[in-house]
Amino acid sequence: MADRVALITGGARGIGRAIALDLGQAGWSVAVCYRVSASDADETRLGIEAGGGKGLAIQADVSEAGTATRLVREVERAWGRIDVLINCAGPYHRVDVLNETPEGWREMFASNLDPVFYLSQLIAPGMMERRWGRIISFSMANADQLVAQPQLTAHYIAKVGVLALTRTLARTLAPHGITVNAISPGFIASGSAPASELESMAKRIPAGYVGAVADAVHVVRFLLSDEAGYVNGANIHLSGGWGV
């Protein structure tokens, strides 16, 4: 598994960064894309290389189809192929559904759901030709419950869409030796939410504590392994029991 190529969206910080560094330590070639966090992305690239892997940091707004195409072509030019796609990008904003704007509504779908479609469609043909591939996307705990989310409505619906798209891609690509799975985090100390908010939520988590980015890395490591070759279309809750 050492001679693999991975593309990670949202790989400059948080969970995406932790995954990138872990794959770098395993000797992988890892490309991370970012929108605005250039210094963080470059730091991640250096960390990948320090761990023994090869790194690329590429600025790309993958909510745009043309930019997603450019990103994939750039990675393929550098390393010849993409074996693994990990969709970590997932920005959100809190706004009451009745005060949401058309621009804010569309942005949540463009940033959370559209890139999974664009990039999977671009990368799948090469995986099919090589008869091996892994696609992992991040949803959110309780997205499969279809509960009301008045403050996160568009983001939440987009994450529900990620689960539906994951299952569709899994069924489509399984005959070609490709697995497509989702991970649904609950409260993870990844830097995306204030520490005070996470601390206040700990008492509502059955496990009694907030998760760490290492917990996500462990699940990704399993899904990328040959031992997980028969795991396809799954949604793995990474939440300490919250949202189940």
Residues 75/7, Cβ–Cβ less than 8 Å: yes
Query: Which secondary structure element, helix H or strand E, spans residue 4, and what is its range?
Result: none
d(CA 217, CA 238): 11
Q: Which residues of 32-47 are buried (b: 16+ CB within 10 A; e: fewer)?
A: bbbbebeebbeebbeb
Residue 56, CA distances (Å) to 20, 128, 214, 224 in order: 10, 24, 22, 20
Is-catalytic flag, 156? yes
Neighbouring-strand partners of residue 183: 138, 236
Residues 34, 92, 118, 156: which is the catalytic one? 156
Just list the catalytic residues. Answer: 156
